[in-house]
Amino acid sequence: MDHGSPSQEHVSHLALDIGGSLTKLDYFSRNNECSNGDNNEEKSCSKESLLVSNGDKKCPVLQGRLHFAKFETSKINDCLEFIQRNQLHLGGCQHGGAPGNEKRIIKATGGGAYKNADLFKEKLGIFLDKEDEMDCLVAGANFLLKAVHEEAYTYIDGRKEFVQIDRDDLYPYLLVNIGSGVSMIKVDGDGKYERVSGTNVGGGTFWGLGRLLTKCESFDELLELSHRGNNRVIDMLVGDIYGGMDYTKFGLSSTTIASSFGKAISDNKEIEDYNAEDVARSLLRMISNNIGQISYLNALRFGLKRIFFGGFFIRGHAYTMDTISVGVNFWSKGEAKALFLRHEGFLGALGAFTSYEKHGFGDSIVRQLVQQSPLSASHAGYKIHGPLNGEWNDNESIECSVYVN
């Protein structure tokens, strides 16, 4: 995908989330065309003019883009190269030191912000200003849920339905971030949260175990395999035990999985007889089911009705979302709802992005985004261009245009 030419635009607020598996980045770029209703002001759209908003005077329109990109953390040099090539680091904040000699500060979160701090300093001359990863996940989720139209959706029976979030009725909710590992966070407000649970069986497990079992070379290949597989070949179902019948007394249909991978020991096949597609499918099902169930239990623990799922494990993948949704719905008897996020994998990076504002660095852009991006559907001035979930490729970015009305 063409990322545009960020180096020719006004780039600001580069932020990073360097996770165990993936490095995510986001940055804002203001387009040159910035208008106040007539096009005469295009070239004179200064930072100050963006703040003017009074009476009948028409406000300038801040037109820009939020760019997102991701890289495998094991190939962090690709990320450094991308930043260097597009000069993204030059739009960061300058801080301290004599004029011309200031430190260039970039907000960063995730464990890799600690691990790779020296690398970024050495190769790009930038200082990573570390933000706590849970703070960032929560800030990113709140930002998306409050400011972005059509961010959250349900996925039921193969149908995606956007859910209108009322910002006054957002809290409390359970945020389940499925990255390499899984964090479950009860969110009560801006900056008010508690990490109530988690599991080590997450996206890293799916990718790691999947690679060992199927020998596939990339995460996308593993997902693709799972797409074509049939878990019933490998999973032991209630029907396999009950001679094709349901276990009606406890509401278990014959197709309910009694034991993930259980059939691989119960019939007379050789190991080579099992194909990679079915293995990938069973694995995805097992991990998604497990996360769905633990999430539900934590929602139940705190009486939460809404569970938002983020993290790059999901990848807008139909089967993953379906399994999680069915699990949450089944266990809660329809009381709790699984919701997915369009920018699922970028919560931490967005949280780091919004933290520029928190620390008083930088200009007004972050505040503009948060305060002036319309919060209800009818006034939405927020458009998203680029691929929707499920169509990601590595290093591809979604571009967002933000029109401040």
Residues that bind ligand ADP in the complex, under the rule CB under 6 A:
19-22, 72, 110, 179-180, 203-204, 206-207, 219, 311-313, 315, 345, 394
> In the bound complex, what is the minimum distance in angstroms from residue 4's beta carbon to ligand ADP?
22
Residue nearest to ligand ADP according to CB distances in the complex: 19
Instruction: For strands 337-341 and 382-385, give the pairing.
Output: unpaired
Closest CA to 107 of 369, 370, 346, 356: 356
Closest CA to 78 of 119, 131, 47: 119
> In the bound complex, what is the minimum distance in angstroms from residue 168's beta carbon to ligand ADP?
29
* 230-255 burial code (b ≥16 CB/10 A, e <16): ebbbbbbbbbbbeeeeeeeeeebebe
DSSP 87-121: TGGGGSEEESSSTT-PEEEEEEESTHHHHTHHHHH
Q: Which is nearer to ligand ADP, 22 or 108 (CB)?
A: 22
Question: How far is residue 148's CA from residue 165's CA, in Å, rounded to a whole number?
Answer: 10
Closest CA to 218 of 26, 398, 392: 392
> In the bound complex, what is the minimum distance in angstroms from residue 68's beta carbon to ligand ADP?
12
Task: Specify the residue for token string 């890289």.
Answer: 71
Q: One-letter amino acid identity for 194? A: E
Q: Which is nearer to ligand ADP, 62 or 141 (CB)?
A: 141
Q: Which is nearer to ligand ADP, 93 or 106 (CB)?
A: 106
Question: How far is residue 195's CA from residue 135's CA, in Å, rounded to a whole number?
Answer: 10
At 363, phi and psi to the nearest 5?
-100, -155
Q: Which is nearer to ligand ADP, 7 or 218 (CB)?
A: 218
